[in-house]
Amino acid sequence: MSKPVIEVKNLEKVYEGAVPVKAVNGISLTITQGEFTALKGPSGCGKTTLLNMLGGLDQPTSGSIAIGGVDITTLSENALIDFRLRNIGFVFQAYNLIPVLSAQENVSFIMLLQNRPKEEREARARQLLEAVGLEGKEDKRPGQLSGGQQQRVAVARALASKPQFVLADEPTANLDSQSTANLLDIMERLNKEEGMTFVFATHDDRVIKKARRIISIEDGKVLSDD
């Protein structure tokens, strides 16, 4: 059995307000190495909140999240930032690349934050861009790339830090069907060939079809897990 990468226990997130909202209501789940998992559910079901907590971007009201055995809910803010840098890859809906940097530099930037040597940064960035099918586009800035290409740069960036897993929040929401198919093929290949764990929050059927495990969430609870 593969080793667990993410172990969530009794996770709750309550947004305080005039009427407190329980966005995540007692979720427990384990994601193991090499999974290709989709968290699906309608808007407002709590899947993005769950994803943000798994990524250490949001703190749960109660419960624990262990990543590679480390309970990230107990980490200080600075330690958590460093933990994210070294253990978690992010792919966002709106790509969120740095517009003033080339594709190669966008991928390298993460490794720079990790203080990796220049030669390693450049070699790995080239290799990752090649892996996502962007050979020859290394020097293009985001503005010169299509949405699909930008999202592929974002995937390469997410992998650059050699994370334990990649969290992708609606990664295909802004893409046409061809770009979506390409992107999913690339992520599936990286998953199968390199054993990279992917967790998606999505309601895109094209992503859900590719996923090998689908966790349905509704009203902050796990409805089904297959």
Which two structure tokens, joined as six digits, stand for 180? 């979506």
- Please identify, among the stretches 2-10, 22-30, 34-42, 110-118, the one whose residues bind other proteins according to the rule CB under 8 A: 110-118
Residues touching other proteins, count (CB under 8 A): 28
φ, ψ dihedrals at 136, nearest 5°: 90, -10
C-alpha span between 166 and 188 (Å, rounded): 12
C-alpha span between 122 and 14 (Å, rounded): 43
Query: Which of 174, 176, 175, 156 lies closest to 166, judged by CA?
Result: 156
- Considering the complex, state which of residue 52 and residue 172 has its C-beta at the smaller distance from other proteins: 52
Chosen residue from 14, 57, 70, 181 binding other proteins by CB under 8 A: 57
Cross-strand bridge partners of residue 222: 217
Taking CB under 8 A as the rule, does residue 223 contact other proteins? no
- Considering the complex, state which of residue 6 and residue 91 has its C-beta at the smaller distance from other proteins: 91
- Considering the complex, state which of residue 120 and residue 225 has its C-beta at the smaller distance from other proteins: 120
Q: Looking only at residues 114 through 153 of this chain, which bind other proteins when binding is defined by CB under 8 A? A: none
Taking CB under 8 A as the rule, does residue 161 contact other proteins? yes
Amino acid (1-letter code) at residue 26: G
- Please identify, among the stretches 21-29, 36-44, 102-110, 175-183, the one whose residues bind other proteins according to the rule CB under 8 A: 102-110
Quickly list H helices, 171-215.
Answer: 177-194, 205-210
Taking CB under 8 A as the rule, does residue 105 contact other proteins? yes
Taking CB under 8 A as the rule, does residue 82 contact other proteins? yes
Cross-strand bridge partners of residue 22: 14
The H or E element spanning position 38 is strand 36-40
Chosen residue from 52, 150, 179, 202 binding other proteins by CB under 8 A: 52
C-alpha span between 152 and 131 (Å, rounded): 9
The total number of residues written for the chain in this structure: 226
The H or E element spanning position 5 is strand 4-15
- Please identify, among the stretches 7-15, 28-36, 101-109, 199-207, the one whose residues bind other proteins according to the rule CB under 8 A: 101-109
Taking CB under 8 A as the rule, does residue 21 contact other proteins? no
Taking CB under 8 A as the rule, does residue 109 contact other proteins? yes
Q: By the criterion CB under 8 A, which residues form the site for other proteins?
A: 52, 55, 57-58, 78, 81-86, 88, 90, 92, 94, 96, 98-101, 105, 108-110, 112-113, 157, 161
